[in-house]
Chain A
Amino acid sequence: MAITVPRPNLNWRERMFLPAIVAGLLITLKHFKNMIFRRTKVTMQYPEEKWDSNLPEHYRGAPALVRDTDGRVRCVACQLCEFICPPRAIKIIPGEISKNDRFAKVEKYPEEFDIDMVRCIFCGMCEEVCPEQAIYLRKDYAITGFTREDMMHRKDKLLEIGGVMHGVVLKWNEKK
């Protein structure tokens, strides 16, 4: 059903449009004045002002590998994150830990651990799937580079971002 919207009948003052024009000019002047006297809140000026201190606890930034309190790389090269990763950004080459090592019980360690940050979609599935709590999404979000190689996070870079994490999973520990 068609709805007819009645047009308002304007009186002569409204039809001159001058009061409306003046009112409009005053509104824009008010905005101009408030901006000049810095009374209006404006967008954050990104490179100078940053959000970093206000990032929420659950923020998902760049994925990173962590060491435990003994300085050991927590990752045991189970490759679950490599399989779960939707854009296939993770590539792991596992290595074997020798029999007489202190952490021999763990058996495997990542010889190479690459995350291609061009591909990574910051979904956090790697963190979710990791049985060792070895991979975490940190708060770094400004990941830039001039080449594809720059955007490839190798194992040392990942450990540098990750740092040390205190946690409960200590698979190498005889008592657990």
Chain B
Amino acid sequence: MDYFFIGTSLLKIIGMIFIVILPMVSYAVYAERRISALIQDRLGPNRVGPAGLFQPIADAAKFLLKEDFTPATVNTFYYWLAPCLAMIPAIMTIAVVPFGSTLFGVPMVIADINVGILYVFAIASLGVYGIVLGGWASNSKYPFLGGVRSSSQMISYELSLALAVIPVFLLVGNLRLTSVVQYQIEHGWLIAPFIGDWSNLGKWLLAIPMIVSFAVFMVAVFAETNRLPFDLPEAEQELAGGYHTEYSSMKFALFFLGEYAAMISGSAIVVTLFLGGWHFPGIPDGSRGWIFGLINIAVFFAKVAALIFFMMWVRWTLPRFRWDQLMRLGWLFFFEIALVNIFIVAIILMYFHF
């Protein structure tokens, strides 16, 4: 039995990383380039392979063949450690996310631990070390500024990130992410709890703070993953690339791909917490046959892809915030909104029982 558990876990980890996450990361880069091009009335990369689909492979080959240059003045140990620290936490957060129901009786989650969301916050906030160390170890002004900005930004938005999910756990009463999904299957998705239970006034009332909570969480995820409009650590125009200015070759690629991996894991968390996880109304779970298990997995990744599209769409619409605006927004608005939101949900829960 133990061997079965270890075997399936290994299979899930390897399959998840090498079949799903890494190809998704490289194709997210391709999608980013194509979508940005289409939004700006251009065509984007369309030369390598049919419709440019082999572009990520060409990019990877280019990154591997470039000179891996280490400047003489850097702190070598931390300089080499930083790119790993940027990539690893982003991939590690996927471990607790249920990405499907069951397949041949095996639950489609790598580690179903009962502190799921705490684990996510603990690991995701390690991502800042990659950027701060990269900025500091480079021993150069622009990367240093990028690292400093990143640390302040991450710390401010971590707060509203954590506060925004508290309403979810007030409702669910459990930190385990699989039970969050189970709750949403039974009571409707948390972004719109009234669906399927239209006459329930309490659920209509509940929808308002849940949408606010979703919005705050989404904005905080934008800030955590350093996406525009909060990409101050990179800020190509003012910081010449920010924390990865001094990096080249595969080390730069790790920073670059780490950002996209963080995007994917962030979207996966949002999907799990607010958008029903792998659930889609009318589709049964994997206990009815392996084909439904596969469909559940496909539904989950379709939702993640839709959220990634949304993140790219926002990136190519909004301009970057100034640093003081960013801090004001984080500390004076989102923090308060999230805090008040918790009380509103608590009051609703006092008068209505779900």
Residues on A lying within 8 angstroms of B by beta carbon are: 21, 24-25, 27-29, 31-32, 34-36, 40, 42-43, 45
Query: B38 contacts which of A25, A27, A36, A45 (Cβ < 8 Å)?
Result: A36
How many chain B residues have a CB neighbour from A under 8 Å? 12
B residues less than 8 Å from A40 (CB atoms)? 41
Chain A minimum-CB-distance residue to B315: A28
CB distance from A147 to the nearest CB of B (A): 25
Residues on B lying within 8 angstroms of A by beta carbon are: 35, 38-43, 313-314, 316-318
7 A/B residue pairs, CB under 8 Å, sorted by A: A25-B314, A28-B317, A32-B35, A35-B38, A35-B39, A42-B43, A43-B42
Query: A31 contacts which of B41, B43, B314 (Cβ < 8 Å)?
Result: B41
Asked if B313 contacts A29 (CB within 8 A), the reply is yes
A residues less than 8 Å from B43 (CB atoms)? 42-43, 45
A residues less than 8 Å from B314 (CB atoms)? 25
CA distance A42 to B41 in the complex (A): 7
CA distance A43 to B318 in the complex (A): 25
Asked if A35 contacts B316 (CB within 8 A), the reply is no
CA distance A162 to B316 in the complex (A): 50
CB distance from B208 to the nearest CB of A (A): 15
Asked if A28 contacts B39 (CB within 8 A), the reply is yes
Interface centre among A25, A27, A43, A45 (most CB of B within 10 A): A25
Chain A minimum-CB-distance residue to B42: A42
Q: Tell me the interface secondary structure of chain B in the complex.
A: loop
B residues less than 8 Å from A32 (CB atoms)? 35, 38-39, 313
CA distance A36 to B313 in the complex (A): 14
CB distance from B77 to the nearest CB of A (A): 43
Interface centre among A24, A27, A34 (most CB of B within 10 A): A24
Asked if B313 contacts A25 (CB within 8 A), the reply is yes
Asked if A25 contacts B41 (CB within 8 A), the reply is no
Asked if A28 contacts B41 (CB within 8 A), the reply is no
CB distance from A45 to the nearest CB of B (A): 8
CB distance from B36 to the nearest CB of A (A): 10
CA distance A133 to B43 in the complex (A): 45
CB distance from B35 to the nearest CB of A (A): 7
CB distance from B133 to the nearest CB of A (A): 34
Asked if B40 contacts A25 (CB within 8 A), the reply is no
Chain A minimum-CB-distance residue to B314: A25
B residues less than 8 Å from A28 (CB atoms)? 39, 313, 316-317
Chain B minimum-CB-distance residue to A41: B41
CA distance A24 to B318 in the complex (A): 7
A residues less than 8 Å from B41 (CB atoms)? 31, 34-35, 40, 42
Query: A24 contacts which of B40, B42, B317 (Cβ < 8 Å)?
Result: B317
A residues less than 8 Å from B42 (CB atoms)? 42-43
Chain B minimum-CB-distance residue to A33: B38
CB distance from A19 to the nearest CB of B (A): 14
Chain A minimum-CB-distance residue to B319: A24
A residues less than 8 Å from B38 (CB atoms)? 31-32, 35-36
B residues less than 8 Å from A34 (CB atoms)? 41
Beyond the given pairs A21-B318, A24-B317, A32-B39, 11 more chain A to chain B contacts, judged by CB atoms under 8 angstroms and listed by A's residue number, are: A21-B317, A25-B314, A28-B39, A28-B316, A28-B317, A32-B35, A32-B313, A34-B41, A35-B41, A40-B41, A45-B43
CB distance from B73 to the nearest CB of A (A): 41
Q: Which 5 A-B pairs have the closest CB atoms?
A: A35-B38, A28-B317, A24-B317, A28-B39, A32-B38
B residues less than 8 Å from A36 (CB atoms)? 38
CA distance A37 to B73 in the complex (A): 52
Chain B minimum-CB-distance residue to A24: B317
CB distance from A36 to the nearest CB of B (A): 7
Chain A minimum-CB-distance residue to B41: A40
CA distance A27 to B317 in the complex (A): 8
CB distance from A23 to the nearest CB of B (A): 10
CA distance A25 to B316 in the complex (A): 9
B residues less than 8 Å from A21 (CB atoms)? 317-318
Asked if B39 contacts A25 (CB within 8 A), the reply is no
CA distance A121 to B309 in the complex (A): 47
CB distance from B308 to the nearest CB of A (A): 15
